[in-house]
Structure 1
């Protein structure tokens, strides 16, 4: 990709989009973020993006994890798979945004603001949705992306270790004592968004890597999340269960929605059918206004 931080992944099939040959409207910005690594943000971002593309939506992607670039590598693996198998898998537009090398903080933030806004504007011009994968840390680019979100999806592992990212609770009563640092950051981003555009941020917290067992801890996490959602204003979404297949699909750049495509050597099982339904449920709960009444085609 070009050194200036911007570039597209070219796709080898007839349905490929390019930033120069399509005109579009104001694409909805979906940010997948929290400030804790290992919650499955890139997996969620990838599956949401592919799900939307399977519904004939034009999707652009921005990977803001400037250190690990997990989503970028996921897409590179996908492109390699397409070229090696000849499969016509849907591929999103992607623009890379790098952190500034400026040592002056004000100059660095100005440069990063220009880079991210330019990237979002370019993708919104040709895409129905722009999916931004935020890093698992507190950075200026991450906070800026949260402020630009129309829909914010926060995956969290189903444990009180991850819950602490959102709020502090009484261990006996599960009552919320106070919101935590990430919730406060999102609250500030919501205020900035409302002041700048008079538009709300629809915040969805999804319990990711959920165990199929009805453990007591699982029930307590659910109760605490329900209490916290009423206090700080997010909606709860059904998450994706813990499945080995998600880790196995990464090297091939595939998602659960691609397993029946030509060249896939993964056996399609009833477990994968159930996983697809989890993804359908997530898309439904997102309540994307542009898809109101649309049939889920995956």
Structure 2
């Protein structure tokens, strides 16, 4: 691992790593996955990462989005901000996994599997939680991230356009007609995981960028998600409301939990207090051991 906490699993980093430390230490793998762009995956990944760090968890992160790298850029912005302001902000161990450039599909998938497993094995002995930002499309790396998850979080914009990623519903009754391609992919990953390990994948769907207005469409999306959760077996999280602050924080690499830090020029408002409460509720949904509501001081 590089001294600054960033590393790359690619052509220059093909060495093997030991997966465990023999002490009974366990590490939770949390994958943030969604095959539709613009759902706020990297924002969710970043805020969960910093929240868990501030709660005393040792956190590692893996960026598999080989095209956009939003999660990596977010953390790079954070590192530059700390250097320029002299602040000491919590930072995770970060590994970026590169896609294979081999022409043979079988060889490329084998190489990508080795790179992903090497990243996991490098972080597992040192971390309580590993957060994986999966690609926003159906790729082999994305399927690896989903099938290796202990917890899968799928952010979903609060609209029927994004709901279609999960399933098709009757527009009048809101009853589920059939699951979508993404739901089927997750189902296959869950079956594979169940065959390989004792613990199944805990799937959480969170409504993201929720409008503060009680619009009819918002209520219908909520009802449809409740119906779908019973059909395909995911837990529904409250999610994060639509707030301009999330877009403003990215260039500085900051989160809602950093607004009172040295060098921050953001005014702390009641809206931010409400946003922090939403984040607390999301962290509680993870059901992490030794983490109870009384300890959530974020």
**TM-score (ref. length: structure 2):** 0.92
CA deviations over 1:227-253 (Å, ceiling 9, x no partner): 000010000001110000000000000
Q: Which residue of 1 aligns with 2:197?
A: 197
Q: Which residue of 2 aligns with 1:5?
A: 10
Does residue 265 of structure 1 match 2:265?
yes
Q: Which residue of 2 aligns with 1:234?
A: 234
Does residue 153 of structure 1 match 2:163?
no
Q: Which residue of 2 aligns with 1:52?
A: 52
Q: Which residue of 2 aligns with 1:11?
A: none
The 3-state SS of whatever aligns with 2:154 is strand
Q: Which residue of 2 aligns with 1:36?
A: 36
Q: Which residue of 2 aligns with 1:282?
A: 282
Distance in 2 separating the partners of 1:111 and 1:169: 39
Structure 2 unmatched runs, 5+: 1-5
Distance in 2 separating the partners of 1:218 and 1:7: 48
Provide closer, same or farther for how the CA distance between residues 162 and 285 of structure 1 changes in structure 2, counting only shifts above 3 A: same
CA deviations over 1:68-96 (Å, ceiling 9, x no partner): 00000000000001101111100000011
The 3-state SS of whatever aligns with 1:200 is coil
Q: Which residue of 1 aligns with 2:73?
A: 73
The 3-state SS of whatever aligns with 1:207 is strand
Does residue 250 of structure 1 match 2:255?
no
Distance in 1 separating the partners of 2:12 and 2:130: 15
Checking the alignment, whether the CA contact within 8 Å between 2:7 and 2:94 is kept in structure 1 is no
Q: Detail structure 1 runs of 4+ shifted over 4 Å in the superposition.
A: 1-4
Provide closer, same or farther for how the CA distance between residues 161 and 233 of structure 1 changes in structure 2, counting only shifts above 3 A: same
**TM-score (ref. length: structure 1):** 0.92
CA deviations over 1:144-203 (Å, ceiling 9, x no partner): 110000000000000000000000000000000000000000000000101011221000
Distance in 1 separating the partners of 2:28 and 2:82: 27
Give the superposition deviation at 1:286.
Answer: 2.1
Structure 1 unmatched runs, 5+: 9-18
Q: Which residue of 1 aligns with 2:221?
A: 221
Give the superposition deviation at 1:3.
Answer: 6.5
Q: Which residue of 2 aligns with 1:62?
A: 62
**Backbone CA RMSD of aligned residues:** 2.0
The 3-state SS of whatever aligns with 1:209 is strand
